[in-house]
């Protein structure tokens, strides 16, 4: 007759059995992968043509569990996109109407030196400079003081943009972050489908001591956003802002309208990005990133290796080595660009 095992022996036997099962599963997986064919697909196209967005759609369709693991990591990037959109709106208002009192310490980049003096700037003190441009600023409309108040209330939020970029870049200060150049060292390596996601860990362990401290700026931005969501909403739907958008004077990136219209949901304390949020996020790709998916087509298994490249001109040299053994290329052309007009004069003058 067999002797009964003690609870400790039972536990040990279960551990060994589970380890064997796991080893068998890994071997089966490796064998399946060896049998599967490699398909190397390159995503090419200009910057902001939607390469990374298409990659995320592949991930959502074929490997949604990995997107779930990453979900929390996208939260600070959504905040970062929102801060940039608000800053661009305020800068354009400053430029058009001399709304703010730009000067030392003001986080907005339209400094008095760049603003030409024009008549009708009223209370806006930003118009006292002697810039060489021919920009003539619009006269103060009736809602001028109202937008001025909103601007003042939103400045602390906008002022966090560079600090947030720096925190997301792993402590590396990103010079020129305000022009949209954004680098998160190691971000690309972390996005491969079979790696865990340290950022997500930080957020899922809310209140978990030391790790939370690393995300101090993100947490402050989340709180500031929650406290100023009314102002963000008022700014976005304000007739002064909407008329600049309609007149093509204010050109925002694709994500801005979506995130700003959803600010109430995003500003909640327990906010977790939805699939749609993740698809709307704009994060410039640096270098080339590889994403692996297992795809079954007509009963055959394929290992799809998707190469998402940086589309900006300075990034294109990195594409070359990947052409040699590429199975296919998906080239993206943004149809949203078909009716794009020249950048507004304010943009050209400021950044030329």
Ligand X SMILES: Nc1nc2c(ncn2[C@@H]2O[C@H](COP(=O)(O)OP(=O)(O)OP(=O)(O)O)[C@@H](O)[C@H]2O)c(=O)[nH]1
Cβ-based neighbour number of residue 244 at 10 Å: 22
Does residue 160 bind Mg ion (CB under 5 A)? no
Shorter beta-carbon distance to ligand X: residue 45 or 156: 45
Binding mask 210-249 for ligand X (x = CB under 6 A): ----------------------------------------
Long-range contacts of 105-113 (CB under 8 A, 24+ apart): 106/155, 107/155, 107/158, 107/159, 107/161, 108/155, 108/158, 109/178, 109/350, 110/350
Please state whether beta strands 37-45 and 300-309 pair in parallel, antiparallel, or not at all (unpaired): parallel
Q: How far apart are CA 197 and CA 335, in angstroms?
A: 33
Q: How far apart are CA 252 and CA 88, in angstroms?
A: 7
Tell me the HSE value of 138 on the side-chain side, using a 13 A CA sphere. Answer: 17
Q: How far apart are CA 304 and CA 310, in angstroms?
A: 19
- Within positions 248 to 307, which residues make up the interface with ligand X, using CB under 6 A? 254-255, 279-280, 282-285
Shorter beta-carbon distance to ligand X: residue 144 or 255: 255
Does residue 285 bind Mg ion (CB under 5 A)? yes
- DSSP tag of 182: -
Tokens at 56, concatenated: 């995320």
Does residue 345 bind ligand X (CB under 6 A)? no
Min CB(309)–ligand X separation in Å: 7
Min CB(286)–ligand X separation in Å: 8
Q: Which does 97 bind (CB under 5 to 8 A by kind): Mg ion, ligand X, none?
A: none
Determine contact, residues 90/158, Cβ cutoff 8 Å.
yes
Distances in Å between the Cα of 85 and the Cα atoms of 29, 58, 90, 209, 305 are 45, 27, 9, 32, 33
Does residue 191 bind Mg ion (CB under 5 A)? no
Q: Which does 127 bind (CB under 5 to 8 A by kind): Mg ion, ligand X, none?
A: none
Tokens at 15, concatenated: 């551990």
Question: Residue length, the chain?
Answer: 352
Which of 48, 96, 167, 277 is in the footprint of ligand X by CB under 6 A? 48
Does residue 49 bind ligand X (CB under 6 A)? yes
Q: Which does 92 bind (CB under 5 to 8 A by kind): Mg ion, ligand X, none?
A: none
Does residue 52 bind ligand X (CB under 6 A)? yes
- DSSP tag of 112: G
282 is in an annotated binding site: yes
32 is in an annotated binding site: no
Shorter beta-carbon distance to Mg ion: residue 121 or 285: 285
Does residue 52 bind Mg ion (CB under 5 A)? yes
Does residue 202 bind Mg ion (CB under 5 A)? no
Residues that bind Mg ion (CB under 5 A): 51-52, 285
Q: Which residues are annotated as a binding site?
A: 279-285
Annotated binding site for Mg(2+): 285
The binding site for ligand X (CB under 6 A) comprises 45, 47-53, 254-255, 279-280, 282-285, 310-312, 336
């Amino acid at each position: 007759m067999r002797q009964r095992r003690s609870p400790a022996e039972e536990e040990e036997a279960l551990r060994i059995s589970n380890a064997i099962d796991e080893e068998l599963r890994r071997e089966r997986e490796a064998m399946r992968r060896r049998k599967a064919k490699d398909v190397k697909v390159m995503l090419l196209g200009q910057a902001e043509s939607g390469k990374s967005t298409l990659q995320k759609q592949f991930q959502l369709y074929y490997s949604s569990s990995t997107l779930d693991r990453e979900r929390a990591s996208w939260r600070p990037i959504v905040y970062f996109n929102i801060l940039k959109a608000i800053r661009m709106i305020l800068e354009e208002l400053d430029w058009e109407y001399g709304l703010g009192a730009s000067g030392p310490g003001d986080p907005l980049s339209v400094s008095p030196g760049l603003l030409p003096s024009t008549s009708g700037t009223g209370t806006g003190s930003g118009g006292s400079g002697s810039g060489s441009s021919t920009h003539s600023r619009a006269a103060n409309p009736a809602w001028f003081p109202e937008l001025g108040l909103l601007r003042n209330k939103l400045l602390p939020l906008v002022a966090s943009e560079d600090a947030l970029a720096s925190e997301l870049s792993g402590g590396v200060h990103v010079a020129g972050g305000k022009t949209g150049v954004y680098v998160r060292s190691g971000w690309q390596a972390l996005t491969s489908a079979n790696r865990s996601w340290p950022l997500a860990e930080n957020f899922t362990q809310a209140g978990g001591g030391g790790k939370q401290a690393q995300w101090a700026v993100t947490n402050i931005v989340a709180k500031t956003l929650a406290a100023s969501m009314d102002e963000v909403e008022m700014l976005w739907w304000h007739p002064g802002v909407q008329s600049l958008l309609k007149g093509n004077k204010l050109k925002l990136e694709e994500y801005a309208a979506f995130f700003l219209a959803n600010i109430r949901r995003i500003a909640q304390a327990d906010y977790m990005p939805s699939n749609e949020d993740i698809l709307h996020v704009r994060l410039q790709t640096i270098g080339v990133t590889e994403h692996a998916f297992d795809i079954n087509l007509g009963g055959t298994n394929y290992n799809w290796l998707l190469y998402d490249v940086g589309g900006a001109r300075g990034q294109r040299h990195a594409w070359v080595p990947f052409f040699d053994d590429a199975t296919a290329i998906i080239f993206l052309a943004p149809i949203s660009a078909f009716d794009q007009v020249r950048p507004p004069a304010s943009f050209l003058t400021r950044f030329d």
